Amino acid sequence: MDLRQTIFKAQHIKLPPLEQSETDGKDWSPLPWSLYFETQRTVSVSDTNFNVYASGTDNSGPIFVLHHGAGHSGLTFGLTSKHIYNSDPQSYTVVAPDFRGHGATTGNNQNELSLDCMVDDLVGLFDALFPNNRRDVVVVGHSMGGAIAAHAVSSKRIQNVRGLVLIDIVEGSAMDSLPSIPMFINARPQTFDSIESAICWHIESNSIQNYESARLSVPSLLVPVNDGKQMTWRTQLLPTERYWKEWYLGLSKTFVSAPTAKLLVLAGTDRLDKELLIAQMQGKFQLEVLPLAGHTVQEDLPDRVGDIVVLFWKRNRPLNIPVTRL
């Protein structure tokens, strides 16, 4: 189910109550980041202290940079990151930061989520993590993060990019959905009595279909309020409305023209606009459709997404063909 379908569903179907079922028998407690990444550290760039999850930072193979969407955090890629890294733990590096205004990242101007600012953040953070990089890079972005990734790659400010992956974001459906997004946001609970109830709500509302991923990622989306008696959203999305149009307008052209191999992963047969339809028929990008997933594809089907991303890089990596002297 794509973003447009998710919003339509929120408008017409009553969301589940906040009360956690006492008879479901499930453990709704949070899972630690350390089960999915090797390290967590703070990297300061400009006015922001970025919280960065990573594995394999001392390796010499490809670097997979994962950019989450609006309202999420780096932990949305926790299970996918682990699967990618475990595909070749002696070679691969996986990096999943909390970007400006999200997760455990702090600093000034945390509500400044303009396209240019977010692109600068991605480029600056990459340069801080991998100065003078000569390794192959695959940049992956989910939803809004896909727009940031596409613009960063198109700017050629990140060196040695071998692949660009967009997850469940298409300009046409995103632009059509903008008027309905405030209704979708307002339909969500504004507070939760506990982290456990928030995790439970995400599963029962079908916001996340993967029980394990919900236990990992949902706690990073919340902060305490009312003297710690309740939890509310870490990132308030409505104040970012002034940036929504610039995130997505022109995304198809930016994606298609990016100077690297390209992959689009969708949760359904989304309505590709004219530019994407023509580009797909011309073989300018690879398309993968995972109809069993919701909008957070990387959480719902992490192993499948991980396999797709790794295979995509293998197909597009440079070939080292030995030269034979005659």
Q: Is 213 a catalytic residue?
A: no
Rounded Cα distance, 216 and 54, in Å: 15
Locus of tokens 């990622």: 217
168 in active site:
yes
Extended beta strands in 28-70, E state: 39-45, 48-55, 63-67
| Nearest residue to 198 (alpha-carbon basis) of 144, 239, 234 | 234
Given the residues 143, 173, 217, 252, the one annotated as active site: 143
Is 143 a catalytic site residue? yes
Token pair 């011309």 in the structure block, residue: 282
Q: Which two tokens stand for residue 231?
A: 């939890």
**Identified catalytic residue from 2, 98, 120, 168:** 168
Cα 156 to Cα 62, 191, 275, distances in angstroms: 17, 41, 22
Task: Tell me 179's DSSP state.
Answer: G
**DSSP state, 244?**
H
Instruction: Give the active site residue among 83, 173, 295, 300.
Output: 295
216/148 Cα distance (integer angstroms):
24
Question: To the nearest 5 percent, what fractions of the chain are helix, strand and coil?
Answer: 40, 20, 40
Residues designated as active site: 143, 168, 295
